[in-house]
A = this chain, B = another copy of it.
Amino acid sequence: MNISILGAGNVAWHLSQALEKAGHIIQEIYSRRPENAEKLATQLTSATATNQLDFRRSKAELFILAIKDDALEEVVKQMQLPAGTTVVHTSGSQALSGLEPLREKAEIGIFYPLQTFSKEKKLDFSEIPLCIEASSLETEEKLLALARQLSKHVYQIDSQKRKFIHLAAVFACNFSNYLWQMAQEILAEQDLNLEILAPLLRETVEKALQTNPYQAQTGPARRGDQQVVQAHLDLLEGQAFHQEIYKLMSDHILRIYHPESS
């Protein structure tokens, strides 16, 4: 398939290379910043870097919007698509309806890789879940087939479901990362680094995924060990932020596992 990518950020970086590897031809890499488009195009076999994409002259039949959420509306307004093309965006939090203005000429869809990307870090794309949605059954089939060439984990997910996946990811990843900040602060006070917890942290993730986090829960609040909970709150004396989180988390866990005592 002939494909053009709008955007030259982290998603575009990994997705375009995975598509090429699967045998597709990336025609153009578009970015407002030509140097970014150029940098990505040089990673690809035959892509042209551009900051002025002429959609009518492009050979692409699929346009992938791998741009920031807040640029989506503006870019969609400016797209002058030839008839018979397909446009997808790669955002987890934007509804399919955001592409509605393009539907007169094109098929629209979502091609959302559920992963966090960095240019410096190689990833096995075949392990990345891809969430697909489209304006028609035919386009959905086409996108699903494309997705299955890239990944072993392909899901049909409508916009409403995708919102909840995004919300779950905020809990599972963004908020956990904040807890790791707090842990790091506690360790830094003792001249220690988060590194000391690395094997434990990795193993905790694997346990939660292999069984489930309800069964995998451990710790003082899980055991109903109020003495250790109180000792920990005492250790956090004077650190209101840490105490607030420790208290709320422990209260919740106690309510679940020891409803009689909370």
A166-220 interface with B by 8 A CB criterion: 167-184, 186-187, 189-190, 192, 194-205, 207-209, 212-214, 216-220
Q: Decide if A252 is an interface residue (CB 8 Å cutoff).
A: yes
B residues in contact with A46, CB < 8 Å: none
Q: Give chain B residues whose Cβ lies under 8 Å from the Cβ of A128.
A: 199
When A203-B116, A204-B116 are in contact, do A197 and B168 touch as well, CB less than 8 Å?
Answer: yes
B195 touches A168 (CB 8 A): no
Residues of B within 8 A of A22 (CB): none
- Residues of A within 8 A of B (CB-CB), count: 77
- What is the minimal beta-carbon distance from A132 to any residue of chain B, in angstroms? 13
What residues of B have a CB within 8 angstroms of the CB of A167 in the complex?
186, 232, 235-236
- Of the listed stretches A1-9, A30-38, A49-57, A240-248, chain B binds A240-248
- A79 interfacial by beta-carbon distance below 8 Å: no
A-B pairs with lowest CB-CB distance, top 10: A174-B219, A172-B183, A180-B213, A168-B183, A176-B176, A173-B204, A168-B186, A181-B213, A171-B183, A175-B249
Instruction: Report A's interface with B, CB cutoff 8 A.
Output: 93, 114-116, 118, 123, 127-129, 153, 155, 161, 163-165, 167-184, 186-187, 189-190, 192, 194-205, 207-209, 212-214, 216-222, 228, 231-232, 235-236, 241-242, 244-246, 248-249, 252-253
